[in-house]
Structure 1
Amino acid sequence: MSDRPSSLGGYEDWPDFVRDASALTGDELTTTVAGLLGVPEPPQPPAVRIVDDWQSDGVHGQVLEWTTGFGPPTRAWLLRPADGPSGPGLLGLHCHAGVKSVGAERLVELPGSSAGAVKLRQELYEDRAVANELARAGFVVLCHDTFAWGSRRFGLDPLPWRLRDVMATYEAAWLAADHSPGDDEWYDVAAGHHENSIAKAAGLLGTSFAGMVAYDDLVALSVLRGLDEVDADRIGVFGFSGGGARSAALTALDPAIKASAIVCMMTTYDSLLPAYFDAHTWMFTTPGLARHLDHPSLTAGRASHHQLVVYAEDDELFPPQGMLTADRELTEHFHYGPATYQGLFLPGPHRFDREMQDAVKDFLLSSL
C-alpha cells in the first residue's frame, strides 16, 4: 500500500459517489449542460440540522448543516426578515476570490463573524453583508458553502505530493520576508494550487470542478425550495464573480428559477484567449464547454427567466470587447422573451459594491 498522502483529503468517498450516481437529466438544456459539466443527479433533499439561531438588526438568522452524500457536511446560513411575512426565496452564491478557507459566510453578517469573512466583505463588498440587506428587503436568503470552500474544503494536512515543493517555496519566501502566515492564509495559498488537482480528479471521474460545484448548488436549491415559508414558484439566484458563473450554470440546469443576477462575471469565451483565461478558475473553464455553449448562451438558457448582468467597465478580469459582445448577445437572446434581460455597465474595477448591491436588490424585488 502506498504511503503517499491523499490528494482528496476528506473526500476519499467522492470517487465512489460519482461512479454510483446517475447523470442529471431534465429538459433538453438541463440534460445538455449537465452532460457537458458532468453533474450527478442530486438525491432527495437532505435532512437539515439547525446549528445556531440568532436575531439582529431586522434579520432572523440560522446556521444550518446537511450532508450531500460525500465529503464533509455543508454549512449554510438562512436569513429572513425578523418581522413581517417572508417573501420569495433567494440562493446566494459566494464568489471565488482565491479564498477557500471561507465560504458563504462572506455574504452574511452574524454574531462573531470570522476575520476572513469580514476582510472579504471590506475588500470586495464595500463592507456590506449583501444577504442581510436582501433579507431586510423581504427575501428568504440561503447562502451555503459549496464544493471545496469553507466547511466543504479539502483537507491539506498532510500535504499532497505535488503541493509539498510548492508550499516549501512559499514557506522559504515567507521566512525570508519575516512573514508568519496565519492558518487561513497558508490554506488559501495551498488550496489555490490544489484546485488543479481537484480538476484532474474530476476529469478522471467523468465530471468537472464546475459540475461538482453545480451539484452542491442544486442540493442547496432543494433545501431552499423545501422551506415552508418559501414560495417555490418565486425563486431567484444571485452571485458575484465566481458566484456569477455558478448562477449561470444553475439557471441553465433548473428551469424553475425565475430570476438571476450576475455581477462581474460576463464575457464571451473567445475573448479570454490569449491573455485573460489564466486569471480564471476551473469553475469557469470546463474543458469542452465552449465548443457547445458560449457563456452568454449558457446564461440566457431558455430565456424564460429574468436576467440582470452588472458589468464593471474597468474589470481587470475581462476584456472590454468581450463584455460588450456578451451584452449584445444576451440582448439578442432575450429579444423575443418570454422573459427579460438588463445589462448595467458601471465604471470601476472588479467588485460587488453597494451601488451594485442596490441594483441587484431592486431587480430581484421587481422580478420576483
Structure 2
Amino acid sequence: MPTICASRDKFLGFSSWGEGVLQCCVVCLRNREMRGLQVSLNQTQKVRLERALEKLKVLSASNAKPNACVNVADAIPVNFEDGVLKGHGTTELEGEVVATVCGVVERVNKLVYVRALRARYKPEIGDIIVGRVIEIAPKRWRLEINFRQDAVLMLSSMNLPDGIQRRRTAVDELNMRSIFEENDVICAEVRGFQHDGSLHLQARSQKYGKLDRGQLLTVPPYLVKRRKQHFHHLEQYGIDLILGCNGFIWVGEHTQIKDDMIEDQSSKAEQQHSKPSRNSMSLEEQERTYTPLDIRQNICRIANAVRVLSNLDFSITLEVIMEIYNLSSSLNIDIHQMLGPEFCVLVAEAEAERQSLVKKKR
C-alpha cells in the first residue's frame, strides 16, 4: 500500500465544527513542509482523502478575505501617506511593504504586520497553560510549557494546601516537594514576564494545581485558539478537559474541588509526613484510587479525537472534539481504530460535507 503524509494537502488554521468563518492561508500551503507523520492508505482511501481535501481547499479559498493571505515576498497594499508602521513579518523593498513570512495580514491602526499561521507559542498574560515540573528550585518550581524557555511558578504565587492566606515560611519551602514534585503535571495561568526575561506563572485559584488520573497530549500550539473558556467539565462522561494555550492538552478524570479551609490542619500535616502504602490501604481505599473502566475508555476516546484533529491540522475546540467522539461512537469504531487511516478519511469527508452545507445556507 502506498504511504503518504497525512498532513499533505491540509489547510492550516481554518475553523472546524462550530466555527462560522474559515481562517486559512491558501497561498502559503505551497511552501509548507511535511510534518513527518506517516499514514498507510490504500488507493481508494487515498483518492477519497485527496477529494475531501481538494473540496476543503476550494471552500476555504472562496471564503478567504481578499488581500488577507500573503506568501513570502508578496506586496501588502498600504497607504504611505497615513504613516504606516511596519510590524513583524514585514519589510520595505523597492518602495513597497512586502511580507517576510507566510500568514494573514493584520492591521491595528497604523501598524501592519503578518500573523504567521504556523508559529511557536507566544505567551500572553492570562493564558491558561498546562506544564510539567522539571526542577524544584529555592522557593520556585520550573516547568516545561512548550516555550523557548522554562516557566517559573513561585511558592508565593500559589495556594498552600491548608488554604490559608499567609506569608510563606522556611517550613513551607522545605515542604515544597510534598506539593509538587518532578514530572507532576500542573495547570496554571501566565502572570507575566519579569525584568530578567523569565516567564512567571500563578495558581491562586482552586481550579489550578496538580493534574492526575489522565493523559497529557502535545499538539501544535497554533491549533488551540484563545477563548474565554479553556476548562471544560464533561459531566456525562466524568471527564475534565483542559485546552492549554501552549499546546499541552489534559484529558483526565473529573476531580471535585475541595474546600481545604474546613479540614483539620493537623490531620493534613500527618498525611503529608506519613503517606500510606498500597499494601496498608483497605480495599475500599484502593478502589477510590482507581479510575473506573468506563471513564478510562472515555478518556482514551476523547484523547484519540484530539490526536486525529492534530494529524489533520484542524482547529481544536470542544465542539469539534465532541463531534469526532460522537462520530466514532455512532459508527461503533473501537478506540484504537480511531487512529487508523479509514477514520481520518471519514473525519475529513465529514468536515468537507459540513462546510459545503454551511456555504449553501448562505
TM-score (norm. length: structure 1): 0.22
**TM-score w.r.t. structure 2 length?**
0.23
If each structure's strand is expressed as a fraction of its own residues, which one has the higher value?
2
